[in-house]
Structure 1
Amino acid sequence: MTVNSVKLCYRNKTILAPMVRIGSLPMRLLALDLGADIVYSEELIDIKMLQCKRVVNEVLNTIDFVAPNERIIFRTCERERDHVVFQMGTADAERALAAAKFVENDVAGIDINMGCPKKFSIQGGMGAALLSNPDKIEMILSTLVKGICKPVTCKIRILPSLKDTLDLVKRIEKTGIAAIAIHGRKEEERPQHPVHCDVIKAIAEAISIPVIANGGSHDYIKEYSDIEAFRQATAASSVMVARAAMWNPSIFRKEGLQPLEKVMKEYIKYAVRFDNHYINTKYCLCQMLREQLESPLGKKLHAAQSSQNIWREYPAQITPKMCLLEWCHKEKLPQPVYETVQRPSNGLFCSVVTVAEQKYKSSMWDKSKKLAEQAAAIVCLRTLGLPTGELSEGKDQYLQKRKWEGPGFLNGREAENGLSEGAPHKRLHARSL
């Protein structure tokens, strides 16, 4: 296993904060596309991670950490490998080290959550409970810094007194961590309470490691330029954005916010591409809609009971492979398996897809492995009588132009007849092997 050699820099960065149910792979990738420099996973508990098995998912090209009940606890991919920080909940140094070693080759950094005020976290001695136990904080962070090759950070809340806060961060600095994220509120304070920029600034001036300011969404951050304003107000090295990014991830775009509908469609593409559970997809989309949840469109989203329901209301470019993957997921079948070969004589590709122990392929050879796999997926879908979605991948490639019953789905008759009116001269020949 190759260790990632890229070392994260925490100065002058915009960062997607760790957020429960938000920090899954589709949101992290979307944030990177829109300009974020670093993305944090949602907090994952060390005990749960140590129960997982690491699986190389060749269908999705991901690394999955899968629990005994087959639930995917953490999913990552090559695209984010140099940018994703794995945030962990822990109350034990050795257990934290074991979990960190388990994931370190697949991520860019490790973070310890020391600020979560939720009852579950505190009762387990994690999160904000650690703030009253500096000895344990020091043991956990020192053990990680010495035991793994990736940079270690932690995220804390401020203490009731400035002196106690400064004493704590100075002690944390001595452990050798790469940076510290400060949520500028006390444990009992919530988003509606003002963020204490003065305390974050005092911390930034008191220690030499990068300070990442967090908590400015309510009072400061409404668009990209506000991120810099918040950084200056706190004298921090970088800014971590939570709720403003949850509401519209294009907050990271230097060029300005994108229309919410466009952002949602881009998010859905990633959700489909990486087989995100529809409940998580629905939750993230609802957070983006916010006050529009009572609109007709919002009500339809709220009522959605599958990924396909969501696609219908928020059409995105859905490829045949996505459609086939979703169908297999719905039918509780194993994921499709693609076997692709290249012909030495002309360099063209042909792919065979296996679904439910049946093999499907196209008689056509294609210019790329990607197109060959899409062709095989189309054959499979048509043979099964399923909609194939829309594949449009550029000039001189397959361009399927169809009439639609609804966004993202084929008209039933066209699905039966194969290529619809306006399809290219290249014809796919359905072939079940």
Structure 2
Amino acid sequence: MTSTVGRLCFSNKTALAPMVRVGTLPMRLLALDYGADIVYCEELIDIKMVQCERVVNEVLETVDFVAPDERVMFRTCNREKDRVVFQMGTADPERALAVAQLVENDVAAIDVNMGCPKEYSTKGGMGAALLSDPDKIEAILTTLVKGICKPVTCKIRVLPTVEDTVELVKRIEKTGVAAVAVHGRMKEERPRHPVHCDYIQAVAKTVSIPVIANGGSQDWVKTYSDIEVFREATGASSVMLARAAMWNASVFRSQGALSVDEVIEEYIKYAIRYDNNIFNTKYCLCQMLRDRVESPMGKQLHAAQTNEEICEVFGMTDYYKKTQAALEERRAALQANHCHSDQPTLEGDIITMAVRFERREYPPQITPKMYLLEWSRREKLEQPVYETVQRAQDRAFQSTVIVAEKKYRSALWEKSKKFAEQAAAIVCLRTLGVPEGKIGEKNSGLVNKRKREEKRNGETGEDCTAAETAYRKRHITQSSQKEEEKN
């Protein structure tokens, strides 16, 4: 049996509920700051998560789970590691286990969404659709409990009758889950409908595992003291807040809530510090503004297209610039550390080296790509082929060059596609021990090419006038550039 030492406890807790587009890192950290004991991430679909790669983001000091298209699906940090619950949408036990195993070392617990009534969840047999398939619920939860070391929980909605709801939760309890969250509305009901506290109470009286009451934001919870009132009304062990926390995360604050404007400022700081998705940030801020969303400030927010523009709306431009400068300084320091070695390393089938293309280190109109092309021709090889990718989070580029069926690339990302290709060419040339054209470098490949051109015309460099030599140099350079552009 797995040890429970250090495992997340779900009794007598207040939690930030999982909310799509809301429960990202900035909101989770904000809720923790104000007193929440546990924070849930937004529902993340298993099919998308299972394709992700775990990446340590040294600049932001986060752990990112990055999709093949470079989108960050889930971002977390050490600050929340022992209190964040990863919620997934799933309808497949084995895929659910694969996702749980991918993230379990970076989170405190795994939760399965069985309550979302929205079509994007239910159409795949996930969310509230699972409520009508208790066999699948049991299979998913049992597989997770047996397959990972972290606590497993689930979040459900109540069924049409109290008896059916109690029977379902009793079956869930037998799978070995650590807790169950119960939203006191049926899947057809919406926030305008009253929450069924009696259903939650019946469940809490029947099972021995902690029951987390959810759904009280509209009628019950408007202040911190209301949280305890809702807990008593439902007989639950803990309380989970969604909309009340979305509107003002300081509802978790035992000393009393802060003004929404203060909360907005703190949220924006986290959003900038952790490079939150711009559209996600806008959505959360609009939810906080509520009836002010149509005000001049709200309209400016709607028009904002970057995090910097959002900061301008709220008078936080100085904070944005200061934070970006600090991140850029950290990025430069990390890259400098990565560059301390000129020795190539092998990553899979790709030879890598931490190098950067510095334009000032090369003569005008001379580049490493030109030298690599010349060397390839001299060796009677096929011309180099460049494959370049761009990552979404900062729009930086990284290129791989293929020469003689071998791949080369720089470990560093560049700000432009052209520079990324030049950096890849440098890695290839240095690995092969071939000149790359830097100022002051001897044995230029382009010089060799010029001599061949001169011999082809029956001349030597000594026979040419200065004007003719200059003309040939320009001609060769232009030809090489045209070849490079074609590639």
Q: TM-score, normalised by structure 1?
A: 0.75
The answer for the alignment partner of 2:10 in structure 1 is 10
CA distance in 2, matches of 1:6, 1:355: 43
Counting aligned pairs with the same residue, the percent is 66
The answer for the alignment partner of 2:155 in structure 1 is 155
The answer for the alignment partner of 2:66 in structure 1 is 66
The yes-or-no answer on 1:101 pairing with 2:101 is: yes
The answer for the alignment partner of 1:227 in structure 2 is 227
CA distance in 2, matches of 1:66, 1:75: 9
Q: Give how far 1:315 is off.
A: 3.2
Is the CA contact 1:65–1:73 (under 8 Å) kept in the aligned structure 2?
A: yes
Q: 1:197 to 1:71 in 2, by over 3 A?
A: same
SS in 2 for 1:338: helix
The answer for the alignment partner of 1:168 in structure 2 is 168
CA distance in 2, matches of 1:160, 1:355: 63
Q: 1:339 to 1:4 in 2, by over 3 A?
A: farther
Q: 1:34 to 1:4 in 2, by over 3 A?
A: farther
The answer for the alignment partner of 1:145 in structure 2 is 145
The answer for the alignment partner of 2:285 in structure 1 is 285
Is the CA contact 1:45–1:89 (under 8 Å) kept in the aligned structure 2?
A: yes
Q: 1:325 to 1:280 in 2, by over 3 A?
A: farther
Amino acid at match of 2:82: D
The answer for the alignment partner of 1:331 in structure 2 is none
Q: How does 1:301-316 map to 2 (within 5 A)?
A: 301-316=301-316
The answer for the alignment partner of 1:135 in structure 2 is 135
CA distance in 2, matches of 1:242, 1:130: 21
Is the CA contact 1:104–1:148 (under 8 Å) kept in the aligned structure 2?
A: yes
CA distance in 2, matches of 1:130, 1:208: 23
Amino acid at match of 1:104: E
SS in 2 for 1:204: helix
Q: How does 1:192-207 map to 2 (within 5 A)?
A: 192-207=192-207
Q: How does 1:258-269 map to 2 (within 5 A)?
A: 258-269=258-269
CA distance in 1, matches of 2:232, 2:282: 35
CA distance in 2, matches of 1:182, 1:237: 11
CA distance in 2, matches of 1:355, 1:157: 54
SS in 2 for 1:192: coil
The answer for the alignment partner of 1:252 in structure 2 is 252
SS in 2 for 1:294: coil
Q: How does 1:25-424 map to 2 (within 5 A)?
A: 25-316=25-316, 318=319, 322-324=323-325, 338=334
Q: Give how far 1:125 is off.
A: 0.7
CA distance in 1, matches of 2:144, 2:123: 23
CA distance in 2, matches of 1:55, 1:236: 38
Task: Identify, as 1 or 2, the structure richer in helix.
Answer: 2
Q: Give how far 1:323 is off.
A: 2.2
Deviation digits for residues 230-279 of structure 1, max 9, x if unmatched? 00000000000000000000000001110111100000110000001111
CA distance in 1, matches of 2:298, 2:259: 16
Deviation digits for residues 94-132 of structure 1, max 9, x if unmatched? 110111000000000000000111112111010111101
Long gaps (5+) in structure 1: 329-333, 342-353, 359-433
CA distance in 1, matches of 2:180, 2:333: 43
Is the CA contact 1:337–1:355 (under 8 Å) kept in the aligned structure 2?
A: no
The yes-or-no answer on 1:22 pairing with 2:22 is: yes
The answer for the alignment partner of 2:433 in structure 1 is none
Q: Give how far 1:319 is off.
A: 6.1
Deviation digits for residues 142-180 of structure 1, max 9, x if unmatched? 110111000000000000111111110000000010000
Q: 1:275 to 1:233 in 2, by over 3 A?
A: same
CA distance in 2, matches of 1:107, 1:4: 15
Deviation digits for residues 332-359 of structure 1, max 9, x if unmatched? xx96553689xxxxxxxxxxxx99867x
Q: 1:355 to 1:196 in 2, by over 3 A?
A: farther
The answer for the alignment partner of 1:380 in structure 2 is none
Superposition misfits of 4+ residues, deviation over 4 angstroms: 325-328, 334-337, 354-358
Amino acid at match of 1:88: M
Q: Give how far 1:5 is off.
A: 6.8
The answer for the alignment partner of 1:364 in structure 2 is none
CA distance in 2, matches of 1:176, 1:206: 16
CA distance in 2, matches of 1:122, 1:53: 26
SS in 2 for 1:219: coil
The 10-residue stretch of structure 1 (26-35 or 4-13) with the greater mean CA deviation from structure 2: 4-13
Deviation digits for residues 11-40 of structure 1, max 9, x if unmatched? 111100000000000000011001100000
CA distance in 2, matches of 1:67, 1:5: 33
SS in 2 for 1:318: helix
CA distance in 2, matches of 1:220, 1:357: 60
Is the CA contact 2:151–2:177 (under 8 Å) kept in the aligned structure 1?
A: yes
Is the CA contact 2:59–2:327 (under 8 Å) kept in the aligned structure 1?
A: no
Superposed CA RMSD in Å reads 2.4
SS in 1 for 2:230: helix
Long gaps (5+) in structure 2: 338-353, 359-487
Q: 1:326 to 1:295 in 2, by over 3 A?
A: farther
Q: Give how far 1:318 is off.
A: 1.6
Is the CA contact 1:24–1:42 (under 8 Å) kept in the aligned structure 2?
A: yes
Q: Which protein shows a greater Rg?
A: 2
CA distance in 1, matches of 2:97, 2:50: 10
The answer for the alignment partner of 1:428 in structure 2 is none
CA distance in 2, matches of 1:276, 1:357: 29
SS in 1 for 2:334: strand
Is the CA contact 1:59–1:337 (under 8 Å) kept in the aligned structure 2?
A: no
Q: Give how far 1:324 is off.
A: 3.8
Q: Give how far 1:322 is off.
A: 2.2
Is the CA contact 2:272–2:320 (under 8 Å) kept in the aligned structure 1?
A: no
The answer for the alignment partner of 2:460 in structure 1 is none
The 10-residue stretch of structure 1 (201-210 or 294-303) with the greater mean CA deviation from structure 2: 294-303
